[in-house]
Amino acid sequence: MGRLTRSGRSSSGSRPAECGRLGGTAEAIHDCGLQAAFDWTETVNNGKVYYQTPVHRIEPGDIILMHFRPAFVSDVTAALTAIHQAGLTQARLENYVK
């Protein structure tokens, strides 16, 4: 069973540290009772999108990692700009995970 979140709902997913590259991450997620782990393909920091793949553009299904930092508004703007430049529309991950 997952831990309760601030919304009062139990969490069933995780964003593993280091994008899951640490040994034992998948096993730890499973042992905690979580049902999914999420990898990301882009990060945003200080108003700039950093691509983790050679394509250097947002692709359908990509997950963008963001943090609540002082530059959060600039980060959101940069992410939305990159999404729209790719001809895509942003979506909530929870809408696609059951």
Domain segments of the chain: what residues? 1-39, 40-98
Task: Please report the sign of the dihedral spanned by the C-alpha atoms of residue 52, residue 85, residue 36, residue 74.
Answer: positive
CA distance 12 to 29: 10
Question: In this predicted structure, what is the pLDDT of residue 74?
Answer: 97
Q: What are the 10-residue block averages of pLDDT along the chain, 98 residues in total?
A: 48 51 69 76 95 92 91 96 96 81
**Tally of helices (H runs) and strands (E runs) in the chain:** 2, 5
Question: In this predicted structure, what is the pLDDT of residue 4?
Answer: 42
Question: In this predicted structure, what is the pLDDT of residue 21?
Answer: 55
State the pTM of this model: 0.69
